[in-house]
């Protein structure tokens, strides 16, 4: 069956959420993955977007959090302060689904600048609601394409906290939520080591080699004792995903 690496990544990410989850969804790949889950194995999943839409069911992927279809298909729409204070900071969201421009092995996210903060090579859009999502959701899943440009040994700026520069800072700061626990890329699936808090590869997508994974990672890759092969997308998943575009 023919499918792209992007489709493999999106399908793998969609499988990570369950029917009972309440997901705070980022635009782009996270939105595609969560809506695919809604159309396949998790029809009762609750999708929440930063604009205040709760239980939204778009027929096509939104271009932004302000896309009108999100409000039109939502169960309800609340104010942004209520979304953050009551829903997010109140601990009512099980999964935060985020992307990144830069990411390190401890799940720290940079969406602010590339290079020196005061004299950057590139100035990025910033955090939006991601810093609050990263610390207040019960658990964080990350989805992004894998390359040495994005997967770096040390992020240039921590926009959204993962487990901190050494993997210990999240706990030392008293942040009690689980934090980044799963990373899905176009090459493989990573999960967080419970002791060191760094990502380790637990599943490799069909046709991908360990050499490819290392060549596209800016740190030395660690592998779990048991590494699986990610099941390829099936026809139902691909048809549902392609219907969203």
Strands 22-25 and 95-98: parallel
Give the other-Cβ count within 10 Å of 228's Cβ: 12
- Spatial separation of the C-alpha atoms in residues 197 and 202, rounded to whole Å: 14
- Spatial separation of the C-alpha atoms in residues 51 and 54, rounded to whole Å: 9
82 is catalytic: no
- Answer whether 62's CB lies under 8 Å from 69's CB: yes
- Answer whether 108's CB lies under 8 Å from 163's CB: yes
DSSP run (H or E) holding 131: helix 130-136
State the catalytic residue, choosing from 7, 50, 132, 237.
Answer: 50
- Spatial separation of the C-alpha atoms in residues 36 and 30, rounded to whole Å: 10
Catalytic amino acids?
Answer: 50
């Amino acid at each position: 069956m023919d499918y792209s690496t992007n489709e493999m990544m999106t399908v793998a990410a969609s499988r990570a959420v369950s029917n009972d989850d309440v997901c705070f969804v980022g635009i782009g790949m996270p939105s595609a993955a969560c809506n695919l889950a809604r159309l396949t194995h998790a029809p009762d999943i609750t999708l929440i977007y930063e604009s205040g839409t709760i239980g939204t069911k778009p027929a096509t992927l939104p271009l932004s959090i302000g896309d009108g279809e999100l409000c039109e298909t939502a169960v309800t729409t609340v104010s942004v302060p209520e979304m953050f204070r009551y829903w997010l900071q109140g601990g009512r969201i099980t999964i935060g689904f985020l992307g990144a421009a830069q990411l390190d092995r401890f799940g720290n996210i940079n969406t602010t600048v590339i290079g020196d903060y005061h004299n950057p090579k590139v100035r990025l859009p910033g955090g939006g609601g991601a810093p609050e999502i990263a610390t207040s959701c019960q658990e964080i899943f990350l989805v992004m394409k894998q390359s040495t440009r994005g997967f770096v040994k040390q992020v240039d700026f921590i926009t959204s906290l993962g487990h901190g520069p050494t993997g210990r800072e999240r706990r030392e700061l008293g942040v009690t939520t689980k934090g980044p626990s799963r990373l899905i890329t176009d090459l493989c699936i990573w999960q967080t080591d419970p002791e060191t808090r760094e990502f380790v590869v637990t599943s490799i997508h069909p046709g991908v080699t360990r050499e490819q994974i290392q060549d596209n990672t800016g740190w030395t890759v660690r592998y779990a004792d048991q590494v699986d092969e990610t099941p390829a997308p099936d026809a139902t998943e691909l048809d549902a995903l392609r219907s969203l575009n």
